[in-house]
Structure 1
Amino acid sequence: MAGVEVKVEGLSKSFGRANIWSDVSLTLPPGEVSVLLGPSGTGKSVFLKTLIGLLKPEKGSIVINDVDLVRCSESKLYEIRKLFGVLFQDGALFGSMNLFDNIAFPLREHTKKSEAQVKDIVAEKMDLVGLKGDEKKLPGEISGGMRKRAGLARALVLDPEIILFDEPDSGLDPVRTAYLNQLIIDLNAQTDATFLIVTHDINTAQTVPDNIGMLYRKHLAMFGPREVLLTSEEPVVSQFLNGRRQGPIGMSEEKDTAQAQREMAEAGELAGLPEMKPQLEVSPGVPERKAVGRRRERVQQMLHTLPPAAQDAIRRSYANEPVTAMAGGGGPLPQRVPPGAPGATEVLNPGDNPPTWFTGPGRHRPRM
């Protein structure tokens, strides 16, 4: 199992005269974990359903493996759907089936595997999500967290290359949410599949994904690597990711300008960029996530285009985290030092004038 790229261009969806969102363009990098955020009612679940072809958009394209799902034939769409695994918001288990039969359902429906093969695969996936020994239990006999994990096991049985999570943390207490988040990170490390998670949970958005996107007012406000979104000064993004009352988002939708200005005056000067929470690491014994190195390489390439405060925040976050998945070698990132300091290596980068000096190995590495 390995992830594939999902490229969305100019996607628009309406129900009758009600426009849900327009001109949504983003690319889900292969093998990485992405999160889609947004206030309630912004069409996040609609986006997931459109992504797998359950809903037809009016405009735009969704390209996977050089196939446009919006314009392809029904037979081709059916084949492409086999690349997906979906964890629905409530688990969507069949109440009259035990967990084994629920998880085995896609194998029996879409493959010609023998019952012995089905048994082995289901046992493997149930063990993977921590449900070994619960095969005969009914959905009504288990907790909400267990139902989520059973739904996840079912999403994994066909070894999908793309896994969609529709609010996996809804209805879960903070402890179960933390366990589920760790499970998602470990699964990504083991499968290198492409993950897209719809969530409202700020802690999940800050600590789990490689990439973050946000829907707001019928458009995609922003999408990019976690470091870029978490240091963004875009008002709606900053407000949502930091859980602030001050900003353009109101209780119903958008605040008027006067109200927003009044609240900002009452609050006074807001603190600058908060320290970024570290991204969750894999559990002991689980292989390193390849996605981390790929994402950080992209961030290195675009860092000089970001505002100075964002650059500094990203450098600080990297300096505090040992990196073992960097392209070109592991170890901690080099640190900025005065020119000529012991162990300093000169690194030239676009926009650096005068040159930037770092401690680190005796080779030139991209500026961080």
Structure 2
Amino acid sequence: MGVEVEVEGMTKSFGRHEIWSDVSFTLPPGEVSALLGPSGTGKSVFLKCMVGLLRPERGRCVVAGVDTVSCSRHDLYEVRKHFGVLFQDGALFGSMTVYDNVAFPLREHTRKSERQIRDIVMDRMALVGLEGAEEKLPGEISGGMKKRAGLARALVLEPEILLCDEPDSGLDPVRTAYLSQLLIDINARLDTTILIVTHNINLARTVPDNVGMLFQRRLVGFGPRELMLTSDEPVIAQFLNGRRVGPIGMSEEKDAATAAAEQELAANGHSDGSTGEDMTALVRQLQPTPGVGTRRAVGRRMNRLAGQLKDLPPERREVVVRALQAEQAGAA
């Protein structure tokens, strides 16, 4: 089973420019989580801070009892073995075959024989649907195949935590759907803790067990999908509906006068740019492919959600319960 990641009070700046401040949340072990946010909110920077590629000015990120922010170089090297990372572009070596790209971490970080390496590599390539592509070079395969090869490489060391940096970037909707299903299947099979950084609304609504959102240098919220996807928090509701009306502007937060003017236009029937569909209504979460097995993460999330529901105001609790009932009816 994947391990828990506890983030507490993390703050990151580049010079005088603060990227985000006092970010705190816990990634539940063995569950799929998504970190959302408009472009430029520092989501990818956050992943780099988690694995120690960048160092935040303040805060902690505790993985298996080790704080990646303050630990020694040796301890950081060891704790990184818990992680697998899928980069936006796959980050494959252009001069290596797909097979050698996937085998690279095993050759670098283990003493396994080539026969053992081959067994692991072929298993992971089969898992991501790349059988038959072993001898191809990255330049000979599609963008979707590069993403899957990058995912296979991220999985060869059997990481307990998988970080995915905008896995849908550059993919068409069909390939994104396949990749989303693949992440669910990987979680069902390996019970890995997964964190997906994305701004893809459909992926955010259908894949993760937990959802968080960064905006204006702070974490707006983080929690089970049932709470976040029915949230009435203005930033979250605007983002998940793809609306112009709300706190999010083209490049930064809107001033009060602009936001008020847009709200008035919307109240008078002017289009807010959304599709008209209520995107904050719960849709059924993706299920594992038949034969893969069940996701233990779902039961753990539901147990945690049950404890949180009693702390909600009655009106809010009723909204979440109705949404859950509708989701369960749709799944029946």
Do both proteins adopt the same fold according to a TM-score greater than 0.5, normalized to the shorter chain?
yes
Q: Does 1:218 align with 2:224?
A: no
TM-score by length of 2: 0.94
Residues 1:295 and 2:301 are matched in the alignment: yes
Q: For residues 323-343 of structure 1, what are the alpha-carbon distances to aligned partners after superposition, in whole Å with 9 as ceiling and x for unaligned?
A: 9xxxxxxx98xxxxxxxxxxx
* Structure 2 portions without partners, runs of 5+: none
Question: Are 1:34 and 2:33 an aligned pair?
Answer: yes
Amino acid at match of 1:32: E
- Partner of 1:319: helix, strand, or coil? helix
Higher RCO (Cα < 8 Å, 6 or more apart): 2
Give the corresponding residue for 1:86: 85
Distance 1:315 1:56 in 2: 41
Aligned with 2:253: secondary structure?
coil
The equivalent residue for 1:195 is 194
Among candidates 313, 325, 329, match of residue 319 of structure 1: 325
Which residue of 2 is the match for residue 176 of structure 1? 175
Is residue 102 of structure 1 aligned with residue 113 of structure 2? Answer: no
Tell which deviates more after alignment, 252-261 or 80-89: 252-261
Once the two structures are TM-superposed, the CA of residue 154 in structure 1 deviates from its matched residue by 0.2
Give the Cα–Cα distance (whole angstroms) in 2 for the partners of residues 132 and 307 of structure 1. 52
- Return the alpha-carbon distance in structure 2 between the equivalents of residues 187 and 274 of structure 1: 26
Q: In 2, Cα distance between the equivalents of 1:190 and 1:233?
A: 34
Conserved 8 A contact 1:278-1:317: no
Partners in 1 of 2:279 and 2:2 — Cα distance? 33
Secondary structure (helix, strand or coil) at the match of 1:286 reads coil
Give matches, 1:33-72, under 5 Å.
33-72=32-71
Task: Provide the residue aligned with 1:137 in structure 2.
Answer: 136
Q: CA deviation at 1:274?
A: 4.5
- CA separation of 1:198/1:246 partners in 2, compared to 1, >3 Å: closer, same or farther? same
- 1:193 is matched by which residue type in structure 2? T
Determine what percentage of the aligned residue pairs are the same residue: 65
For 1:281, which of 280, 287, 291 is the aligned residue?
Answer: 287
Q: Does 1:231 align with 2:227?
A: no
Query: Would the aligned equivalents of 1:88 and 1:165 in 2 still touch at CA under 8 Å?
Result: yes
CA shift, 1:150, in A, is 0.2
C-alpha contact (below 8 Å) 1:275/1:313 kept by paired residues: no
Check whether the contact 2:231–2:280 (CA below 8 A) recurs between aligned residues.
no
Distance (Å, rounded) in 2 between the aligned partners of 1:262 and 1:118: 61
Deviations along 1:276-306, whole A, 9 cap, x unmatched?
1111111111111011111111111111333
In structure 2, do the counterparts of structure 1 residues 134 and 273 end up closer, same or farther at CA, with 3 Å as the change threshold? Answer: closer
Rg larger in 1 or in 2? 1
Checking the alignment, whether the CA contact within 8 Å between 1:52 and 1:81 is kept in structure 2 is yes
Deviations 1:115-145 (A, max 9, x none): 0011110000000000011100111111100
SS in 2 for 1:281: coil
Question: What TM-score do the two structures reach when normalised by structure 1?
Answer: 0.85
RMSD: 1.8
3-state SS, counterpart of residue 163 of structure 2: strand
For 2:299 and 2:261, locate their aligned partners in 1 and report how far apart those are by CA, in whole Å: 43
- Cα deviation, 1:48-92, whole Å, max 9, x if unaligned, reads 000000011111111111111111111111000000000000000
- The structure carrying a bigger helix percent of its residues is 2
